[in-house]
Amino acid sequence: MDIKTPFKIVSFIFVTTFFSSLLFASNSPPPIIAITQIEDHPAANAVREGVLKALKDKGIEDGPNYTILYESAQGSSVTAAQIAQKFVGLSPAVLVPISTTSTQTMAKADELYGIPIVFAAVTDPLASGIVSSLKHPGGYITGVTDAAPVKEQLKLFKKILPQMKTLGVIYNPGDSSSLTPLVQAREAVKDLNITLIEVTAFKTADVPGAVKNLMGKEVDALFVPLDNTALSAMESILKIANQYKIPVFSSDRDSVAQGALASYGYSHFDTGYTAGKMVEQVLKGANPGDISVATAQALNVYINSKTAQYLKISIPQEILKQAKL
């Protein structure tokens, strides 16, 4: 037997194994980025657009190198849980839930797996139990909060409407993202000589009735916090409020584009963009638990001048100078 034969066989096996491994690697699926939000409405959609733009700016797009998935729960907590289970089962590189409800649901589904989570637009990550520390979240989760400066918002709204004595607020008691600003509003109105009148809406279909209820109480204005149920029904809110010539103030800047009179807060797109940059860090190997929870950078005043004109409300010049119209 030729003594070179064993060497040739070993060499053949090595070369075959090497190229097979390369072929297997080239056929392995690309990393998955799984994005979900509790409902489709302008605010949440703007957050998602910000996430995608930040990723695109870093060369991360849906295609041969990455798979980007998206699903909306359409306002259903049951559907949100199903999406969370589905996404966790796909073993993605990173999970990106948008909103408090989606993040809570995703974190619960991910408890036994520890897949990295980068959340966006969570109003109060501490009170909602998502993280135990903003500076050192620990574990496998971090993200961006969109907590609105409620006291400053109400001060601004009072300057715009000095005669405001009663302020109606619509919220979903089941949405923890609206409970924190509601508690803050209850405290803030004490110093502003405003009476807060609260009505609840557990689902989007409840919102028109809640608004009409407030109209019957003759409120001077409406306030819509960062509540997904109310924001999803903003068109209905504005339609009814306009019939009564009642101004609508919102924590959501995108509501101003829809017809609300004013808002003071962060850009939802910027919130998403900041989260997108965190996702890129995680994809590069960073541990989410070592990344501090962030906020979008700039607070802005937003005014709808057409609505002001329709309601015959004169916006003070000091506010107009700093506002985005």
Q: Mind listing the pLDDT tens digit for each residue in 61-99? A: 999 999 999 999 998 999 999 999 999 999 999 999 999
pLDDT at 15: 43
Residue 40 and residue 140 share a domain: yes
**Between helices 207-216 and 234-243, what is the axis angle to 10°?**
30
pLDDT at 294: 95
Could you list the residue range(s) of the whole structural domain that residue 185 is in?
Answer: 150-266+300-324
Say yes or no to pLDDT of 176 above 80. Answer: no
Task: Give domain status of residue 272, yes or no.
Answer: yes
Secondary structure (3-state) at 94:
strand
pLDDT at 16: 45
Task: Give domain status of residue 14, yes or no.
Answer: no
User: How many domains are there within the chain?
Assistant: 2
Residue 286 and residue 203 share a domain: no
Each residue's pLDDT tens digit, 231-277: 999 999 999 999 999 999 999 888 999 999 999 988 889 999 999 99
Task: Give domain status of residue 15, yes or no.
Answer: no
pLDDT: which is higher, 272 or 7: 272
Of the pLDDT bands very low, low, confident and very high (cuts 50, 70, 90), residue 21 is: very low
Of the pLDDT bands very low, low, confident and very high (cuts 50, 70, 90), residue 25 is: very low
pLDDT: which is higher, 43 or 17: 43
Each residue's pLDDT tens digit, 181-234: 899 999 999 999 999 999 999 999 999 999 999 999 999 999 998 888 999 999
Task: Give domain status of residue 5, yes or no.
Answer: no
Q: What is the CATH number of the domain that holds 111?
A: 3.40.50.2300
pLDDT at 71: 98
Full strand arrangement of the beta sheet holding 141-145: 67-72, 32-37, 94-98, 117-122, 141-145, 294-295
Residue 31's region, left for phi above 0, alpha for psi from -120 to 50, else beta, is beta
In angstroms and rounded to an integer, the radius of gyration of the C-alpha atoms of the chain is 25
> Quick one: how far is CA 109 from the chain centroid?
19
Say yes or no to pLDDT of 113 above 90. Answer: yes
Residue 233 and residue 204 share a domain: yes
Task: Give domain status of residue 100, yes or no.
Answer: yes
Residue 320 and residue 244 share a domain: yes
Q: What percent of the chain has pLDDT over 90?
A: 77
What is the pTM for the complete model shown?
A: 0.79
Say yes or no to pLDDT of 55 above 70. Answer: yes
